[in-house]
Amino acid sequence: MSMNIIDEASFAELTERHRRELRAHCYRMLGSFDEAEDLVQETMLRAWRRRDGFQGRSSLRTWLYTIATNACLDQLRRRPRRPAPPVRMPGQPDFVEIAWLEPFPDSLVEPVAAPEDQPDAVAVATETIELAFLIAIQQLPPRQRAVLILRDVVDWSAAQTAQALDMTVASVNSALQRAKATLREVAQRQDRESVRAAAVADASEQERELLRRYVDAHAAADPAAIVDMMREEARIWMPPQPLYFLGREAIAALFRQLFVTEPVGEFRLVPTRSNGQPAAANYLRAPGDTEFRAVALDVLRFVDGRLDEIVVFDKKFFPLFGLPEIWVGS
């Protein structure tokens, strides 16, 4: 199918059905939701400008993924970035901070089953946007990251990937091997069960109960209840700020300060989901205030029924989750 005679409205209708999965793809490449949004728009603009070059030898989806991947690589060349050096503490796994990491609302993930009228649309698997996976692949060089995502997530052949990235099949296979070796090293070094956990369609009953306990402990200003949920190796970190708390002892001191020694006010947490994980929107009524105001979004990771990680994101992301600035619940 040649697109050199197609009008802009028809082109937009054909390409728009791929927007969600392209956004997730760019998010994996970049780790930033805001940048992913911008790069999807850039992909659509590039596709429109280059429509004469689409001759139908591949699917429209494949063509758009090729454009999106290269747009992301161009962005990473313009704005190169590397994780900070690992933080190493006795008795703790290595901690690698990804300062540019941002949350991805579950409400914007493609449904599990692609619509019948979009047979080439592919559902976004939640495990491929989980924070552990994102953190791991952001430690790969950009081209290795692109190869890994196209081969293992998008499920392209080595030949398709080579054509998209202007590489040889041999260099694609070599890059994939190096990327997987690096991910194994990351998983071992950071002592996490997996950088790519098993996918689940919905939160498990255990997960919902743990999230309820986390929410209730904040409402009760009970630091011990939160600490009791923690693994010894638990951590809290707050991208893009260089602020983190590693290990149960450090986290216990943080919550004692927030709730007891220097109380900042009353908390109310609203459950939500981000990156295929349970999350909680934090609202705070400061002393002297009459309203609970948005302060932060906690994305939680549970391992074997215990809280392993809390990644705290800025309140600026609340609108993405349909969350109000002022909480008016009971």
CB within 8 A of 131, min separation 6: which ones?
101, 275, 277, 299, 301, 309, 311
The band of 121, judged by pLDDT with boundaries at 50, 70 and 90, is very low
- Predicted confidence at residue 6, as pLDDT, reads 67
Residues 185, 186, 188, 194: is their CA dihedral positive or negative?
Answer: negative
In the numeric block, the tokens 């009971």 are attached to 330
Q: Which of 45-54, 91-100, 112-121, 283-292 has the highest mean pLDDT?
A: 283-292
Kindly state the percentage of the chain with pLDDT values over 90.
72
User: pLDDT by residue (tens digit) across 175-218?
Assistant: 999 999 999 988 887 665 444 443 343 458 889 999 999 999 99
- Tell me the whole-structure pTM to 2 decimals: 0.89
- Predicted confidence at residue 189, as pLDDT, reads 76
Domains of the chain with CATH codes? 8-190 (1.20.140.160), 205-327 (3.10.450.50)
Q: Indicate the angle between helix axes 169-190 and 158-165, nearest 10 degrees.
A: 100
User: pLDDT by residue (tens digit) across 154-166?
Assistant: 999 999 999 999 9
- Distance separating alpha carbons of residues 229 and 214, to the nearest angstrom: 8
- Predicted confidence at residue 99, as pLDDT, reads 95
Average pLDDT, the chain: 89
- Predicted confidence at residue 111, as pLDDT, reads 56
- Distance separating alpha carbons of residues 43 and 16, to the nearest angstrom: 11
CB count within 10 Å of CB 276 equals: 24
Q: Is the pLDDT reported for residue 222 higher than 50?
A: yes
CB 50 within 8 A of CB 67: yes
CB count within 10 Å of CB 36 equals: 23
- Distance separating alpha carbons of residues 315 and 154, to the nearest angstrom: 31
The band of 51, judged by pLDDT with boundaries at 50, 70 and 90, is confident
CB 223 within 8 A of CB 259: yes
| Average pLDDT over every residue of 297-305 | 94
| 3-class DSSP state of 34 | helix
Q: Across the strands, what pairs with 273? A: 278
- Predicted confidence at residue 71, as pLDDT, reads 98
In the numeric block, the tokens 């997530």 are attached to 153
